[in-house]
Amino acid sequence: MEGASLCMETEKERLVAYVLEHGDNIEFTRHFWNGCEPLEADVIQYHKFTQALQMTHSGEDPDSISLDLETSVTTARNWRALSKMPKLSHFLKAFLNLGAPTNGRVWLTLEQSHGYAVPVGQFIQVPTTIQTWEDVDLVLSQIKPMRDETTKFTKPHLFGFLLGIIIGDAHKPKQGTGTDISIWY
């Protein structure tokens, strides 16, 4: 348990050190699929977050930070403690743990929180463009099955099945204006 706590502190220290050195520069986002797809509000929150960390490092208290950044005192305290962070901070944390992907690839998270798109799952490296079957196979080799039931099929077989469903349904014209969906077995 002590080792996990030490690792957490080191992770937090690295995040703070990065922010103190780079400020609100979001260059790290280029290492993720679609640059983390930030909304304007995400960039603003990240900017305020980095300012809060810099102000904390300068010795300012949460009340002053809250007033200066026009955030709640609770938010200032959470940011200061790194207990709750904006979306882009989570991507920065992932980048600091993962490092830069292989040339021509970016990181893709396989699971994100509902609503805020905070990465919570496994990251895999994906090519920025798929050009060969080897590119597809590289991506598939990094995905772990959710259940053991899939072991009777190979990943390429399952991928082909998914692709067939997507392409097969993609050509269908939209039926009516209702909310009915067809489910077939």
Q: Contact at 8 Å (CB) between 119 and 147?
A: no
For the chain, percent of residues with pLDDT exceeding 70 = 81
Residues in the chain: 185
Sort 65 into a burial class: Cβ within 10 Å, 0-12 / 13-18 / 19+.
Answer: buried
- What residues pair up with 109 in beta bridges, in sequence order? 123
- Rounded CA-CA distance 50/122 in Å is 25
Q: CA 85 to CA 72: how far, in whole Å? A: 14
Whole-prediction pTM value? 0.77
Strands annotated E in 32-167: 105-109, 123-127
The tens digit of pLDDT for each residue in 21-49 reads 999 999 999 999 989 889 999 999 999 99
Mean pLDDT of the chain, nearest integer: 84
Residue 94, burial from CB neighbour count under 10 angstroms (0-12, 13-18, 19+): middle
Structure-token pair, residue 104: 């021509």
